[in-house]
Amino acid sequence: MATRVPRRARGIDRGSRGVTPDQRRLRDALAAVPERVAATIEASSRPPDDAPAPGEWSARQVVLHLAAVEEEVWQARLDALASEAFPHWPWVEPGLWAGPGGDTWDGALAAFAACRAATVARLDALDADGWRRTGRHATYGILDVAALLRILLAHDEEHLAQIATG
């Protein structure tokens, strides 16, 4: 099952525009996650639709959750930072992405990759001032874009580990 992330879904680097090396590293780490997810499931002996235990998500369902979180949480927060003076964000825990194509492993991975590419495109559009914008999270407090991305990456790592050990 040689699953590949479509090229158009990997994100496009549009230049630095005053971005710091740490911000560039965060952006690049985010862009790389769909390929890491594909490699993790490729290395797994468990088929992507097999749940490790009753009531737990299969790898495909984990990826659908990542796609839902991408749209409902991360993109929404980045959009709020761009359009509001000081947005406030509640804790949100989305379920599974319900868009078309998610009923197959390749479709789920392509959906997540496209969602992540849309997030990366938002980051690529930010200038230095955009990266400095802040909002308040109900649990984490005041966050700028880089802090949001660190939380996003921690969430990704948690689910990559879930796929690897599931």
User: For position 62, which CATH number holds?
Assistant: 1.20.120.450
Residue 31 lies in a domain: yes
8 within a domain of the structure (yes/no): no
Bridge partners of 144? 134
The tally of domains found in the chain comes to 1
Residue 10 domain flag: no
The predicted pLDDT at position 4 comes to 57
Angle, helix 59-69 to helix 105-124, in steps of 10 degrees:
30
When pLDDT is cut at 50, 70 and 90, the band that residue 11 belongs to is very low
Residue 4 inside a domain? The answer is no
Per-residue model confidence (pLDDT) at position 8:
46
How confident is the model at residue 12, as a pLDDT? Answer: 42
Task: With respect to residue 5, please indicate whether it lies within any of the assigned structural domains.
Answer: no
Domain membership of residue 3 (yes or no) is: no
Judged against a pLDDT cut of 60, whether residue 118 lies above it is answered with: yes
CA quadruple 11, 17, 23, 24: dihedral sign: positive
How do residues 75-112 score in pLDDT, each as one tens digit? 999 999 999 999 999 999 999 999 999 999 999 999 99
Q: How many CA atoms lie within 13 A of 11 on its CB side?
A: 24
Does a structural domain hold residue 9?
no
Strand spans (E) along the chain: 88-89, 134-137, 141-144
- Tell me the per-residue pLDDT of 12-59, one tens digit each, with 9 for 90 and over: 444 556 899 999 999 999 999 999 999 999 998 889 999 989 999 999
Instruction: Residue 119: give the domain boundaries.
Output: 19-165
Q: Parallel, antiparallel, or unpaired: how do β-strands 88-89 and 141-144 relate?
A: unpaired
- Position 46 in a domain: yes
What is the model's pLDDT at position 166? 76
